[in-house]
């Protein structure tokens, strides 16, 4: 029988288991406002500044801060802008703590997945939860270590993932997965997941396909229709898990560059996925339901957030558990969607 809680986690903690140029809008004032949080100060202390709604006098006075500046950028530079945002997030968490360092980055309709808690939707509710969970920002410190990330061909959707070490009385480790949307020229968090881990992961092998960046094949369309297609793919993924077992479902729906998150190391590429998710037996049922998600208009990248259940019954032992997950999806040339990054944590 697989571990009931805290095993491989990927989406479920319960089972073992080319682009040409593009135009993006860069708003300098919000970036300066975020950077202002980390300015060393003999005259001011660190404080949480909302990079969208709060004003910073120095930034507001800049002639470059009057509106969007449209620049044609190649994909590599657009990706670099996302990775820079992820680095700023890491700095915010270090200097402002796990509450104020995170909530300022969230979109209004963001999803937050915290270990041992229900899925939380909406920036206001997430902010309240974070401040209740971390009342003293100095009591816990986390350092993010990004492993990889990429953006859609239209530079409006992206993802980053990696691991962190933290100190809250005792040293500990974890993993994170972030989904980003570019709104009003600023990268903001649409979904964020953190989970516990046993140790820091090993360095990626040279053949880990995702490390250099992966965002799928651009096949543009209506964003709402594309989001519906991504959700349908996730539902088909779940149906295959129920009908044929997770050992069939996960490799079948994986992208070539897919990565599995575990409590120790990552498992890389489709071969790593298949090796990790062996061992399903008919006494197990792993099922899930996507609840929210989105897709880029460029049609290459999307994500889903949902809840999952695991049931075990061999006639003598019964076990049930619940979890929640984020899945990042990429599109293949044949228009099919495949999961690229998938992670989850336990729910009550």
- Residue ranges of domains in the chain: 28-67, 73-212, 223-347
Q: What is the pLDDT of residue 184?
A: 84
DSSP-assigned letters across all residues of 318-340: EEEEEEEEEEEEEE-TTS-EEEE
Which residues share a beta bridge with 339? 254, 329
Quick: pLDDT tens for 148-206: 999 999 999 999 999 999 776 556 899 999 999 998 889 999 999 999 999 999 999 99
Mean pLDDT throughout 285-314? 98
For β-strands 106-113 and 186-197, DSSP reports them as parallel
The fold for domain 223-347 equals Nuclear Transport Factor 2; Chain: A, (3.10.450)
CATH number 3.10.450.50 is the correct assignment for the domain at 73-212: yes
Evaluate if residue 62 carries a pLDDT over 70: no
Evaluate if residue 22 carries a pLDDT over 80: no
Average pLDDT, the chain: 83
- The model carries a pTM of 0.83
Mean pLDDT throughout 272-284? 96
Mean pLDDT throughout 328-340? 98
What's the order of all strands across the beta sheet hosting 267-268? 267-268, 254-260, 337-347, 318-331, 301-313, 284-295
Burial (CB < 10 A; 0-12, 13-18, 19+), residue 271, is: middle
DSSP-assigned letters across all residues of 104-151: TTEEEEEEEE-TTS--EESHHHHHHHHHHH-S-TTS-EEEEEEEEEEE
User: 330 and 300 in contact (C-beta within 8 Å)?
Assistant: yes
- Count CB atoms within 10 A of the CB of residue 69: 13
User: 137 and 99 in contact (C-beta within 8 Å)?
Assistant: yes
Q: Report phi then psi at 178, rounded to 5.
A: -125, 135
Domains 73-212 and 223-347 share a fold: yes
Q: What is the pLDDT of residue 327?
A: 98
Question: Closest Cα partner for 226 from 156, 121, 323?
Answer: 156
Quick: pLDDT tens for 122-134: 999 999 999 999 9
Rg (CA), the chain: 20
Query: What residue has token string 């298949």?
Result: 274
pLDDT band at 10; cut points 50, 70, 90: very low
pLDDT band at 216; cut points 50, 70, 90: very high
What is the SS3 assignment for 202? Answer: coil
User: 227 and 294 in contact (C-beta within 8 Å)?
Assistant: yes
Q: What is the pLDDT of residue 69?
A: 45
Query: What residue has token string 């992966």?
Result: 214
Compute the Cα dihedral for 296, 128, 113, 257 and give only its sign: positive
């Amino acid at each position: 029988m697989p571990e009931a809680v805290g095993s491989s986690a990927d989406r479920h903690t319960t089972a073992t288991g080319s682009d040409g140029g593009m135009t993006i809008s860069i708003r300098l004032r919000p970036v300066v406002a975020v950077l202002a949080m980390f300015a060393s100060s003999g005259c001011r202390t660190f404080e949480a500044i909302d990079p969208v709604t709060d004003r910073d006098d120095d930034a507001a006075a800049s002639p470059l801060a009057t509106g969007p500046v449209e620049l044609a950028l190649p994909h590599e530079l657009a990706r670099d802008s996302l990775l820079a945002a992820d680095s700023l997030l890491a700095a915010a968490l270090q200097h402002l703590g796990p509450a104020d360092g995170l909530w300022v980055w969230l979109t209004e309709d963001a999803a937050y997945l915290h270990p041992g808690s229900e899925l939380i939707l909406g920036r206001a509710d997430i902010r309240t939860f974070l401040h209740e969970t971390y009342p003293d920002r100095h009591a816990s410190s986390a350092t993010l270590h990004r492993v990889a990330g990429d953006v859609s061909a239209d530079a409006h959707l992206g993802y980053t993932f990696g691991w962190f070490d933290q100190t809250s009385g005792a040293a500990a480790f974890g993993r994170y997965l972030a989904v980003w949307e570019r709104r009003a020229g600023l990268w903001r968090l649409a979904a964020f997941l953190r989970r516990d881990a046993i140790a820091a992961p090993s360095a990626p092998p040279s053949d880990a396909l995702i490390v250099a960046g992966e965002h799928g094949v651009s096949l543009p369309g209506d964003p709402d229709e594309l989001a519906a297609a991504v959700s349908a793919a996730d539902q088909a993924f779940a149906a295959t898990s129920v009908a044929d077992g997770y050992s069939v479902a996960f490799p079948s729906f994986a992208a070539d560059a897919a990565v599995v998150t575990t409590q120790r190391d990552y498992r890389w590429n489709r071969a790593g996925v298949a090796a990790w998710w062996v061992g399903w037996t008919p006494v197990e049922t792993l099922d899930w339901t996507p609840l929210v998600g989105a897709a880029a208009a460029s049609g290459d990248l999307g994500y889903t957030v949902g809840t999952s259940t695991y049931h075990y019954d061999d006639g003598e032992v019964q076990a049930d558990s619940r979890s929640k997950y984020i899945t990042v999806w990429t599109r293949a040339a044949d228009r099919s969607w495949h999961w690229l990054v998938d992670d989850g944590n336990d729910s009550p």
